[in-house]
Structure 1
Amino acid sequence: MVKSTFLNLPAEKQARITQALLHEFSRVPLATAQVAPIIKQAQIARGAFYKYFTDLTDAYQYLYQLALADIHQDLNFSKALTAKDYILLITNFLSGTKNSPYYDFIRLSVTQNDYFLRLHSPMKQLASKDWAVATLCHEAIFACFLEPQHQELYLARLEEALTTFLKGV
């Protein structure tokens, strides 16, 4: 996780570093990302980068959490969700992502960095039903990023599958 030395930086310097992370991780998958472009754009020394983050994966995870917090502002799981609720959440996520400075980052995360998302996902702790729903939802999101022109089709298919699944549980 991001180190306290980063969190204690002045807001302007944090923003500059965060912008450099966003630029690098929106441009290339995590597997090919490099520290050099980040430190150059952020105007910091390589050693400073490692005072703020353990490694590139740590920096990526920081940015990923920041992006999701920004895009998923309206999530409310205080009640049992219906298929329509899930579709609304996904639709809001997709439109929120499109209108976000994080669009390219999230698109690469979903389509290129899936291994990272699965490795750092809380899905291991989910109950079976919740895991199944999350898996279906994430697969639909993946499909929507790969083929945005077919978003309505994928969401209709997801709603049908979730309606059937949630009735049987």
Structure 2
Amino acid sequence: MDLQKHHKATFDNISAEKRERIIRAATMEFAMRGFENANINNIAKKADVSVGSLYKYFDNKQDMFLTIIHYSIASMEELLNNLAQSDEDILLKVDKIIRTIQKSSKENDLLVKLYNVMTSENNPRFASQFAYEMESMTARIYRVAIEQGKKAGDVREDIDSAFAAYLLDNIFMNLQFSYACDYYKERFKIYTGGDILNRDDFVVEQCLKFIKSALKK
């Protein structure tokens, strides 16, 4: 993932600690207020830097936002690429993805909230770019995993790989939101019980049973 696509080279030259402060402050602002209402002054204040400094690193608010989006993508990219290249049974891959979702959504809830804001942002200027940058990697990796499962005899041949990948991603995306976003947390509890957020193994087990019934011969 080429993060330099949306930020200036000067952003790479500052300390890792300062870079993390800016990324976290921007993530918080965009996650809480959305792109249109996010304020550069608020980001500078939260990051304890000057507004002028931010413009040394980013040309505009859009470039800052896209850098944060790329940062969130990169946090999952390595895991998914490793899974795509492994010969493990598809259910083992799904198990690892769900457990990673559970852990990362709780630890990095702001990134998930940002993703939620981004997917519901009423901004046609960015919609196609967001969708492509966020979804093309996972679409490819899940499709490849399903194709590998077919070749290994683990996955039914009568399933369309691309459509199955889409359905899998919808399960994963909803789980992300259910562990991080207030509305989805409450929805999760209403459907499955008030203690569901503390029953990670149960969630994995039930998801695997459901997915196995759909994919396995």
TM-score by length of 2: 0.58
Q: What is the CA–CA distance in structure 2 between the aligned matches of 1:89 and 1:83, rounded to whole Å?
A: 10
Comparing 63-72 and 135-144, the one that deviates more: 63-72
CA contact (8 A) 1:35 1:46 kept: yes
- Give the length in aligned residue pairs: 162
Tell me how far 1:2 sits from its aligned partner: 2.3
Amino acid at match of 2:46: Q
- Among 9, 13, 16, the alignment partner of 2:14 is 9
Secondary structure of the structure 2 residue equivalent to 1:37 = helix
Identify, as 1 or 2, the structure richer in helix.
2
Cα 1:73–1:79 change in 2 (3 A) is closer
Tell me how far 1:6 sits from its aligned partner: 0.5
Gaps in structure 1 of 5+ consecutive residues: none
Q: What is the CA–CA distance in structure 1 between the aligned matches of 2:17 and 2:142, rounded to whole Å?
A: 43
1:104 and 2:110 matched:
yes
Gaps in structure 2 of 5+ consecutive residues: 1-5, 120-126, 145-161, 178-183, 197-202
Tell me how far 1:4 sits from its aligned partner: 1.0
CA contact (8 A) 2:44 2:51 kept: yes
CA contact (8 A) 2:7 2:57 kept: yes
1:33 and 2:38 matched:
yes
Show CA shifts across 1:36-77 (max 9, x none): 210222233334323212333332332333344445654412
Cα 1:52–1:141 change in 2 (3 A) is same
1:61 and 2:66 matched:
yes
Cα 1:50–1:117 change in 2 (3 A) is same
CA contact (8 A) 1:5 1:52 kept: yes
Q: Bigger radius of gyration, 1 or 2?
A: 2
The equivalences for 1:76-95 within 5 A come to 76=82, 77-79=84-86, 82-95=89-102
Identity score, percent = 20
Cα 1:82–1:2 change in 2 (3 A) is farther
TM-score by length of 1: 0.71
Aligned twin of 1:135? 166
Tell me how far 1:20 sits from its aligned partner: 1.3
